Amino acid sequence: MQRNSPLPRMVIVQVAGRGRKENTMAQKANSLAHTKWMCKYHIVFCPKYRRKAIYNQYREDLGQILRQLCQWKGVEIIEGHLMPDHVHMLAGIPPKTGVSSFMGYLKGKSSLLMFDRHANLKYKFGNRKFWAEGYYVPAVGLNEATIAKYIREQEQADIALDRLSVKEYEDPFKK
77 found inside a domain: yes
In whole angstroms, give the CA distance from residue 28 to residue 115.
36
169 found inside a domain: no
| Closest residue by Cα to residue 146 from 37, 63, 22, 138 | 138
171 found inside a domain: no
pLDDT in tens, 152-170: 888 788 777 777 765 555 6
User: Residue 130's domain spans which residues?
Assistant: 33-164
pTM to 2 decimal places: 0.69
170 found inside a domain: no
14 found inside a domain: no
Residue 9 has pLDDT above 60, yes or no: no
pLDDT in tens, 113-162: 988 888 877 777 777 788 889 999 988 877 788 888 888 888 788 777 77
41 found inside a domain: yes
List 49, 105, 150, 169, catalytic entry: 150
For the question of residue 150 being annotated catalytic, the response is: yes
CATH of the domain at 147: 3.30.70.1290
22 found inside a domain: no
Number of domains in the chain: 1
74 found inside a domain: yes
